[in-house]
Structure 1
């Protein structure tokens, strides 16, 4: 989650011209999650929504395979991502809490489908100043081939050579 000092979500031009990390941390995380799931569909990841408790703000969507997670920070563990998100939100909003909700991939790029889930209302890639999907794909490119990193990490955890 990223909490901007000023409200840029209401201004499509200012929103679009923010740095990539800010753009995908605050308002376009669902597009980045979809781009990841599309590119790495064979790795067992799914979308997860950090849904703030009633009365709080700070939604965020990331992808996870139950162990690893990816969002605008890059690849980490799900435990680390959640620890950071909860600590940061509680620093801004004492008492902040949230639940995790698994989301179907198609919801990430459909405003209509997202609105069928209580409390969720996502912007489609084409609802930004420009189509956000190519930007998400280019941002994802900056992390290199995550498939190799994930497969190497999984193999090292199950290797018999460590016995």
Structure 2
């Protein structure tokens, strides 16, 4: 797992200049998920949100069809993504726990995101939507998704 430099989220340009995996893994995962849902031709995908228990850090948003997930790692099995995420956070933060909830709001809507303490796409140093599209296009979908199209 990547752990960003403490305080980097307070510096828009430094945050923007991180490698894609770190940018989308720590602070812009919701943008990546929103663009995936907006642009994908794969059916059955929806957003999920890992919401840490009260007072804990480490939320994350990704998309899934219940079996395959997509986030800053690219495509993976949903259960493996969740196990990896839990392992990393429980190792770093003793007693870390969270729940997974289905996302019921538009992931690219600034007002909806701000209400949940996330930046909207127009609140980054530059436009993250084209960056997300390039990142998604650089990842090869697994064969089972290629058959679904």
TM-score (structure 1 length as normaliser): 0.83
Number of residue equivalences: 148
In the TM superposition, 1:60-99 aligns within 5 A as 60-99=60-99
SS in 1 for 2:8: coil
Q: Distance in 1 between matches of 2:94 and 2:142?
A: 38
| Partner residue, 1:121 | 117
Give unpaired runs (5+ residues) of structure 1: 155-163
- 2:135 corresponds, among 107, 129, 139, to 139
In the superposition, relative to structure 1, how do residues 38 and 147 fare at CA in structure 2: closer, same or farther (>3 Å)?
Answer: farther
User: Counterpart of 2:40?
Assistant: 40
RMSD of Structure 2 on Structure 1 (CA): 1.8
Residue 150 of structure 1 pairs with residue 149 of structure 2 = no
For 2:123 and 2:50, how far apart are their aligned partners in 1?
A: 22
TM-score by length of 2: 0.91
| Cα distance in 2, alignment partners of residues 15 and 60 from structure 1 | 17
**Matched residue, 1:160:** none
Structure 2 match to 1:54: 54
What corresponds to 1:109 in structure 2?
Answer: 108
CA contact (8 A) 1:111 1:121 kept: no
Q: Distance in 2 between matches of 1:136 and 1:105?
A: 19
Report the alpha carbon displacement of residue 147 of structure 1 after superposing the two structures with TM.
7.6
> SS of the counterpart of 1:121?
coil
In 1, distance between residues paired with 2:38 and 2:142?
12
Provide the secondary structure at the position in 1 that maps to 2:145. Answer: helix
Shift of 1:125: 1.1
